Each structure stands twice: as structure tokens, then as C-alpha cells.
Amino acid sequence: MTRTKPRETEASALACDIVADAFGHDCGLVCRVLAQRGSMTLRELARETHLRSSRCQQAILVMIRHNSIRIMQQENNDEEDNRYQINLEAVLYRLRYSRYLLHIRECYGKTQELFFEVLFQHGMLHTHELFARISVNQYRLDISRTNTTILEQALSELVDSQLIEIVPSKLDSVGNTVIDVDISVSAKAAREDFRSNDVLWRVNFGHINRCLQHVACAELVREEVNESASRLLLAMLEISRLHGHITNDGTPVRLSEADILERLISDSSQKNSSDVEVSLHECLTTLQNDPWKLLSAHLMDSAGNTQKRYSVDFSRILDMIRVKELEAVVRERFGGPACRIFRLLLLKHNLEQKQIAEMAMISIKDTRELLYKLLKAHYVQIQEVARTVDHAPSRTFYLWHVNLSHVSENIERELYRALSNLRARMMYEMLRQQEIVHLLERIQDRNLIPLTASQCMRVARMKSAATQLESSLLRLDELVLVFSTVAESH
């Protein structure tokens, strides 16, 4: 049986470092081999990693529990023939755990945040294991250890929001998990019996990533339109998320005013529903008349009545955020004139060099230099249109354009490379200041050892460097969330 195509990418190198840091040397070795060789059986993994079969199996089990490895079952149902494949996206999501926890705390509360934290730390858990882990950390919440009603309500709310899901029990022929019943039915069954030991829980990363993307979209609308329109858009995106975003025929989910109003009232601090309704109509009108066309209105027949429904163009908003970030990157790396050329090609698409120079009001010489700098960095592309079969340069048009999807993929690779470099720099700084780190740990334990003036300066420098590096990591991950094609497809 042939192996799957290896994934030698910046993302896979970063994922291997993350796994080794989180789960240890054996898991890191297994991850690296799978990333380089593709899917493999346990026997093949043990041979390639030079680990004993039992150690290799234990590493695989740890990574499966944390959704870092996919199982590809074979038709003969022989476990020895099962193939294992690295789940690259799930590993990279570990960089975003702090952002996930902050979002859950702000939107749902500390109890729901604790559920996420436990699932992040321990991976997939059965219901009784999940509640046992929560009870150990329950002192952080202002509730009694014997009060399980609040915990059950918190879990039920996360299930209803599709942020936590039951682990599907079957795999299809290509290794993807398949749920046998509709997700709402599964959620209902789980709410009815929280103590069922055969129910295994995990975080639904596709939905939590989509929530963070929705927040970014709402922030863009807040900056460009107003706060009320931002709240409306966020409410509509969240309703669409719970309904699947895209219908079976490929069109965005269309929402009625009643659905939107109900969501806005539940999210709003205003008790007067009439005020919310007036604000809803104003915002719908504003977004419909907006030149960006982020919101579309549709007349639909329902039971003989014509109703007006609305849909949000999520992909368009995401592209607008990408363009905004790309323009900032181009301006920072190549200057304002290059950004002007880049924006012009986004708007006008295929243009010749002379046309670009005239429209951007830049000299021919500078335009040529900037275009080839952008071409070398893969921000623009060039297409040859020959007038004759010999493709002579004097009889060929050279059209410049921007392929946004191609540029986004290139930026995503650069972001993963930068994330890997930042993590390496952080590890280097921690090793270089290992003496101070050990000293701080001793002080925290005993609270007796004073620091000298030079040690205080070293601690201050270490904290400053760590803060800057962590801030840069968070900013880069925020950009990865926007440019990631995987997160968008969930």
C-alpha cells in the first residue's frame, strides 16, 4: 500500500516542535516521522522512529486523545493494519488556547472556561472523567462542590453552542470522523444523560475558530460602519454558524428578522425589545445600502406568505480583512508607492506596466522596480499574452495582476515560518536565563531569598523580552486565523 504524500511545510515543522514541547520526546519523534513520511502503521512507525512498539503505541494514544492523530481504518478491520496520520491543524490550534479561553470567559463565563481548560489539558474525556476533573478545580468557582446543576447547565450551554461535541464513533474510508445522527439529536441525547460513561467529549475547534473569525469581522464593521451594525453582523454570523453557514445548494443561510431580533435581545443588555427592534431595522437598512454589499436581502415564499430574509457574505468580509492586512504588510515592506500599485491591481486586475505607472502616478522606472520586487515576494503575478506563436517579447502583452488566494497562501506560509522562529527565540531566551528562572522558582517556593541589583535587572530584561515575544506570537496567530484556508473551510 502506498503512503500518502509527505507534508514538508513550515506548518509541519512548527507542529512537530509544538508536539515535542507539549507531550515529550517520543510524541515529537512520532509527529516528525508522520509529517515527513505520511500515513503509517504502528509497525512502520516503530521501525522508523527506532522506538519499542509499546512506547510508540503509548505516544500514539496520547496524541489520539488530544486529536493530534487521525486513525485511518482499513477494510479488513485489523487493528495492526490501521494507518495513522498527523492532524496538523489540531496541533497548530494549541498556539491559540489562551485566545480560546479568553473568548469563552467573555462570552459564556468562568464555569464554561473551566470545561474548555480541562479538555485542553487532558484531551478527550468521558462524562464522568470530565466532571471529576472539573470538581478538582471547582475551588476556582464560587459554587459548592456538591452543586452539579450549574456544571450541567454550563456543559449544556456549550453543547447547544456547538463548541463542545461528542466524539464520533466511526471513521470513513479516508479517515475523517463521521457522525451517524444529526448533531442536534446527539446534543439532545447528551444533555439527557450527562453520566453516560460511553459518551466521549472534545472541543469543536472548527466552531470555536469560526467564532473568533466572526469577532474579527464584527470589529472591521465597527471600524468602518458603527457599533450597532457590528453587533447585528456578529449576531447574524453566530446564527448562521449554528445553522451551518452554507445550505445544501451552496448558498449562505438566509435569516428572518424574527430570528435576528431574538438573538439580539438575548445578547443585549436592553430590556425593552422595541428599542432593539428599531435599532435592528436601522442597521439592516444601513448594511443593505453599504457599497461593500456585505448584507443581501431576499424575498422568499413561506406557506403562501412572502417574507424578507437576509444573508451575510462571510467570505467577502474575510477577504476584506485579508486585503487590509496585506496592504499594511506591503506598505511596511516596500513603501507607500508599492502599496498603491498593489491596491490598484486588486481593483483593476490585469494591467500593463505603462497603465499601472499612469494610474498610480509613478514613473515607469520606479513602477518596473516595484513590480519586480512584488513579483519576487509573490505578492503579484504576471501573465504573458502573445500575439504571435513565436512569443517574441516585442509582440507580447505582459499583464500584471493579484491572485488573492495565492497571496494568502504565501502569507500563511510566511506566518508559520515567523511563528516557528519566534518560538525558537523564546526557548533560547529561557535557556539563556535558566539560572534566573530557577532562582525565581525557589523564591516562589520559599519567599526567603533576596535578589541582588544585577539579578533584578536580569529579571526585568527577561520579563520584557518574554512579554514582547508573547505579544508578537499572539499577533501572528491572529493573522494566521484570518489567512488560514483550513479555518475558513470548517
374, 367 contact by CB (below 8 A) = no
Read off the amino acid at residue 253: V
Contact between 228 and 279 under an 8 Å Cβ cutoff? The reply is: yes
Model confidence pLDDT, tens digit, residues 40-98: 999 999 999 999 999 999 999 999 999 999 888 766 666 677 889 999 999 999 999 99
Cell, residue 380: 503579484
pLDDT band at 335 (very low <50, low <70, confident <90, very high): very high
Distance CA 155, CA 164 (A): 8
On whether the CB atoms of residues 131 and 194 are closer than 8 A, the answer is yes
Q: How far from each other are the two terminal CA atoms of the chain, in whole angstroms? A: 30
240, 252 Cβ separation under 8 angstroms: yes
Query: Over the stretch 143-172, which tens digit does the pLDDT of each residue have?
Result: 665 567 888 888 889 998 999 988 876 544
Compute the distance between CA of residue 114 and CA of residue 236 in angstroms, rounded to an integer.
27
SS3 state at 346: helix
Work out the mean pLDDT of the chain and round it to a whole number.
Answer: 83
**How crowded is the C-beta side of 37, counted as CA atoms within 13 Å?**
17
Average pLDDT over residues 243-260: 76
Runs of H (alpha helix) within 51-182:
53-65, 88-92, 97-107, 110-122, 127-136, 149-160
Please tell me the predicted confidence (pLDDT) of residue 1: 40
What was the pLDDT predicted at 481?
92
CB-CB contact of 373 with 334 (8 Å): yes
Q: What is the number of residues in the chain?
A: 490
Each residue of 214-235: pLDDT tens digit?
A: 999 999 999 988 898 999 999 9
| pLDDT surpasses 90 at 339 | yes
Locus of grid cell 483550513: 486
Q: At what angle do helices 25-37 and 10-23 cross, to 10 degrees?
A: 160
pLDDT at 62: 93
451 compared with 423, residue with greater pLDDT: 423
Compute the chain's Rg from CA coordinates: 27
Taking only the tens place, the pLDDT of each residue in 353-379 is 999 999 999 999 999 999 999 999 999
Amino acid at 435: E
Contact 241, 210 (CB under 8 A): yes
For the chain, list the domains and their CATH numbers.
10-92 (1.10.10.10), 108-203 (1.10.10), 208-312 (1.10.10), 317-402 (1.10.10.10), 428-489 (no CATH)
Pairing of strands 200-203, 164-166: antiparallel
Other C-beta atoms within 10 Å of 473: how many?
A: 17
Asked whether the predicted pLDDT for residue 136 surpasses 90, the reply is no
For 456, the grid coordinates are 533584578
